[in-house]
Amino acid sequence: MCTAISDVRGSHLFGRTLDLECSYGEGLVILPCRFPLKFLHGSPETRHFAMIGTAHIENGQPLFYDAMNEYGLCGAALNFPGYAKYAPYCEGKTNLASFEVLPRVLAECRSTDEAVKLLSGANITDEAFSKELPPTPLHWIFADRARCITVEPTVLGVIIYDNPCRTLTNAPSFPYHMTNLANYMNLTAMPPENTLCPDVSLSPYSRGMGAIGLPGDFSSASRFVRAAFVKHNTTGADGSNRISRFFHIMDTVGVPKGAVMTSEGAPVSTIYTSCADTESLTYYFTTYACRRIRAVRLDRSSAGSDMKVVSMDACEDILYNEEPVR
């Protein structure tokens, strides 16, 4: 369970929620341009674009959940169970294991258009990172200010969709979500008009009635609709308000612990929420345990080779006002 959005009102902001039943020890990772990125096929890349994002570190390599590179290209990998179809290695093609798609694109591409060129005709393989880490069924969203795409591995190969909604959740496939969105074309942030029976005097008894029918559950289809509606109808984009607005949007698809349970009875929650500002190259995040927005900036001038990991662990930061009330 995850939701990702790209918002181009004001500066381009990109981020996601990670909704799972447990944390895998992820951290905020800063990857300088000379860090040796290893791929299953070919030599390690020792000269690539710098990037920043959230990743799980395994055997010294970052397994990114989402990230932004020094040119402001952003991407995220989201769970795609029951639909992702990987293929065996194919000679003559660009072969990428599922865990390599995100770092390979951000290491080499300056824009979404370049990502399309790299991934068109690519072969996403069924190879595992290790025996302990089998392939995870994934699809991807990539975005810059000019364009947003969804990339899905299918039985027909890798399909790349333009994503004008700049929103992605989980299964079913992206075309389903766009078709389903049409079921909610009538929703509005404005007070509703009486089209039911215009000759009868009816008036709204509450604010917000234009959005009656907006799905409130945590299914992927409902989160897609809710994220799209809220993103396209929120305001307040000046200065730091745009960062605050982004997190308020993501709050509408966040999962309180226990509101969703796995089939094994484990409670799901939003482990973290991210927001990458592609103008300032600043990566903002909150976690379930700490709602304070924290930020780390990517220094594109850094030419080192050492990966930096910033802990995302923190307790809730509550400001107590001890001043007497008068």
Give which of 138, 170, 141 is closest to 154, Cα–Cα. Answer: 138
Distances (CA, A) of 196 to 193, 200, 201: 9, 9, 11
Query: Is-cis flag, bond preceding 137, omega within 30?
Result: no
Q: How far, in Å, are 15, 31, 124, 177, 189 from residue 167 at the CA level?
A: 10, 26, 22, 10, 19
98-114 burial, b at 16+ Cβ within 10 Å, e below that, comes to: bbbbbbbbbbbbebbeb
| Exposure string over 222-245, b if 16+ CB within 10 A, otherwise e | bbbbbbbbbbeebeebeeeebbeb
**Token representation of residue 243:** 């960062």
Residue 308 bridge partners (DSSP): 30
Q: Is residue 230 a contact partner of residue 252, using CB atoms and an 8 Å limit?
A: yes
Which of 183, 50, 55, 39 is closest to 100 using CA atoms?
A: 39
**Marked catalytic residue, from 2, 33, 148, 165:** 2
Active-site residue 2, yes or no? yes
Q: Which amino acids are annotated catalytic? A: 2
